[in-house]
A = this chain, B = another copy of it.
Amino acid sequence: MALELYWGSGSPFAWRVMLMLELKGLAYQSTLLEFSKGDHKAARFLKLNPRGKVPVLKDDDFVLNESLAIMAYLDKKYAEPPMFGTSPQEAGLIWRAMMETEAYLLNFGDKVIRPVFFGKGLDETEKIQEAAEAVRQELKRIDRELSGSTWLVGKQISAADISLFPLVQTVLRAAGKDAAKPLKLELLPLADSFPNVSTWVKRIEALPGYERTYPPHWR
């Protein structure tokens, strides 16, 4: 029985797992849920994840949700190439980067992304700009870290890069929307504001298998 991934187009969390699967060279069966049709709230899917959220991975009878947990599972089961480092220090730094992504970039990014994508609260410009400033601070920090290194932690691509990348892409996509124009988010063009992040994004986009992970409705 193959690995089976339940995902949705444009979910940064599902995107993480797709990148992981590509980098591990794992074949998988893909089940695309249509959020607009409510596939993720259908009884069949709620049996796999009562929270009705993607991604969900099925590996034979084993079912798992939460993107970072799925990444940890895949790395432990399919060891090569290691995506959580090899030493305790690397593992610690990778998990720190992932936890800081969740605590800061995801948290603040969400307050920019949601209004722009869904049009709710777009008039609360002050709130959005405050969140955008926090996002810029995080990207500035990451840009500094990437100034002397190819990847976020260590000499190889790791789960730290993979869990950050789809969020960066999603924030940038939001920043490029017409609805974002009046908000002055100061995130684009990326190459001007955060040159090292920009190079790092291109590096990931050039990875074999990347194209297969790109959200179909973004094309």
Contact = CB atoms under 8 A, between A and B. Distances in A.
Number of copies of this protein chain within its complex: 2
Interface stretch (A62-70, A111-119, A124-132): A62-70
Contact of A72 (B62, B66, B76, B92): B92
Contacts of A91: 72-73, 76
Contacts of A68: 95, 99
A133 interface: no
Interface string A126-162: 0000000000000000000000000000000000000
Interface of A: 62, 64-66, 68-70, 72-74, 76-77, 87-89, 91-96, 98-100, 102-103
Given A64-B96, A69-B94, A70-B92, 4 more contacts: A66-B95, A66-B103, A68-B99, A69-B98
30 contacts: A62-B89, A62-B92, A64-B93, A64-B96, A65-B96, A66-B95, A66-B96, A66-B99, A66-B100, A66-B103, A68-B95, A68-B99, A69-B92, A69-B93, A69-B94, A69-B95, A69-B96, A69-B99, A72-B91, A72-B92, A72-B95, A73-B88, A73-B89, A73-B91, A73-B95, A76-B87, A76-B88, A76-B91, A76-B92, A102-B102
